[in-house]
């Protein structure tokens, strides 16, 4: 089992720093991302870090319906205020606040967007002279318990955009191997996994993940016996699984198709599971796209936009058509 597979994140809420760093190290540029449950109605403090160790430091994020979003960042005598003026876009579901800062280039940008809106609804503001972020403060901010409120999770990356998708399966997913079913969390390189399309394949790597499990990162609980035979399966929303049956053959002229788990959420047979802050999970690497069996469900492993998928993957409008024919109405996570 390979640990430390962080998908480009420097730090994540409820986890802290994901790679060792000097206590005095500074992050001079990066992207701070926070997801919030909507609607945002009352004024309040979303995040707050205060420290007098060495010199006075503050990193706080406020929301006020009349003012907007304010980030107050202080290091000693230097104080920076970054404001995204009201009114903020309103709606239900999840919003993402992104704070891109580049201290050497003396530029910052704040963006507030409604996830899942079509067309995308967003509001932005920019300015000059942001301050670098001490990694020690990030560690404290991420690991300190925070009160109940609209903040679902937050993290920081050195990239210009949040890291891309990382399909995964839950640690307790029973995966068929040459030795019988093995829990995904117990798999190790060299184990022979039984695939539907390529027969037995050796596992190249099993990357242990610990990612946020709320907001856009919320996993999907596939309920038995609708998708698995005897137990529920926890997978990421972008994990592809094979769907078959007479409805599939009728609509698409093929025995089976692939769909992302998130498209199956209907509040009954598949649930958006936001019960935990962090989801322990694993990303399996077989060296090629393949279909593995997990308690009677076929999951696509190793799919990549540059590679051919083992089955046809449905487009959004095709997913909606199939779900309606199956008598299930897709439901967006709250």
- Distance, in Å, from the CA atom of 30 to the CA atom of 317, rounded to the nearest integer, reads 36
Q: How confident is the model at residue 6 (pLDDT cuts 50, 70, 90)?
A: low
Q: Where are the domains of the chain?
A: 9-157, 169-326
Q: Is the peptide bond before 167 cis (omega within 30 degrees of 0)?
A: no
Q: How confident is the model at residue 68 (pLDDT cuts 50, 70, 90)?
A: very high
Per-residue pLDDT at 309: 77
Neighbours of 227 (CB within 10 A): 24
Q: Evaluate if residue 331 carries a pLDDT over 60.
A: no
48 beta partners: 60
Which SS3 state, helix, strand or coil, does residue 227 take? coil
- Distance, in Å, from the CA atom of 149 to the CA atom of 163, rounded to the nearest integer, reads 25
- Tell me the CATH architecture of domain 9-157: Sandwich (2.60)
Query: Who wins on pLDDT, 25 or 333?
Result: 25
Neighbours of 265 (CB within 10 A): 24
Mean pLDDT throughout 217-244? 90
Q: Please give the share of the chain, as a percent, with pLDDT higher than 70.
A: 94
Q: Vertex 301, ends 296 and 306: CA angle to 5°? A: 145
Which SS3 state, helix, strand or coil, does residue 246 take? helix
Specify the CATH class of 169-326 in words. Answer: mainly beta
Residue located via tokens 């309103």: 90
Report the half-sphere exposure of 276 (CA within 13 A, side-chain side).
14
Q: Evaluate if residue 60 carries a pLDDT over 90.
A: yes
pTM reported for the whole predicted model: 0.83
Q: How confident is the model at residue 320 (pLDDT cuts 50, 70, 90)?
A: confident
Contact 89, 96 (CB under 8 A): no
Contact 80, 73 (CB under 8 A): yes
Which pLDDT tens digit goes with each residue over 82-109? 999 999 998 888 999 999 999 999 999 9
Per-residue pLDDT at 321: 86
SS3 content of the chain, % helix, strand, coil (to 5): 10, 45, 45
Per-residue pLDDT at 2: 53
Among residues 187, 301, 295, the alpha carbon closest in space to that of 241 is found at 301
Per-residue pLDDT at 334: 37
């Amino acid at each position: 089992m390979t640990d430390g597979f962080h998908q480009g994140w420097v730090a994540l809420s409820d986890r802290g720093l994901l790679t060792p760093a000097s206590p005095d190290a500074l992050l001079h540029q990066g992207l701070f991302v926070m997801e919030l449950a909507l609607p945002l109605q009352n004024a309040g403090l979303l995040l707050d870090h205060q420290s007098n160790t060495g010199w006075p430091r503050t990193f706080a994020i406020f929301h006020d319906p009349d003012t907007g979003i304010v980030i107050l960042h202080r290091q000693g005598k230097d104080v920076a205020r970054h404001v995204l003026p009201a009114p903020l876009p309103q709606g239900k579901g999840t919003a993402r606040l992104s704070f891109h800062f580049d201290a050497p280039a003396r530029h910052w940008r704040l963006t507030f967007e409604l996830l899942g809106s079509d067309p995308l609804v967003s509001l932005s503001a920019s300015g000059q002279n942001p301050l670098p972020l001490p990694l020690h403060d990030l560690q404290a901010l991420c690991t300190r318990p925070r009160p109940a409120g609209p903040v679902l999770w937050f993290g920081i990356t050195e990239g210009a955009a949040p890291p891309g998708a990382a399909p995964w399966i839950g640690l307790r997913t029973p995966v068929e191997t040459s030795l019988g079913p093995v829990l995904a969390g117990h798999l190790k390189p060299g184990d022979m996994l039984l695939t539907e399309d390529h027969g037995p394949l050796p596992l190249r790597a099993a990357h242990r993940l610990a990612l946020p499990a709320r907001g856009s990162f919320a996993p999907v609980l596939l309920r038995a016996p609708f998708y698995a035979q005897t137990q529920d399966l926890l997978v990421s929303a972008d994990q592809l699984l094979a769907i078959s049956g007479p409805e599939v053959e009728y609509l698409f002229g093929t025995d089976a198709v692939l769909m992302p788990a998130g498209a199956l959420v209907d509040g009954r047979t598949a649930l958006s599971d936001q019960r935990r802050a962090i989801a322990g999970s694993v990303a399996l690497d077989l060296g090629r796209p393949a279909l593995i069996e997990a308690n009677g469900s076929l999951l696509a492993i190793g799919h990549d936009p540059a590679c051919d998928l083992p089955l046809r993957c449905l487009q959004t409008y095709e997913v909606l058509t199939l779900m309606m024919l199956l008598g299930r109405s897709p439901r967006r996570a709250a």
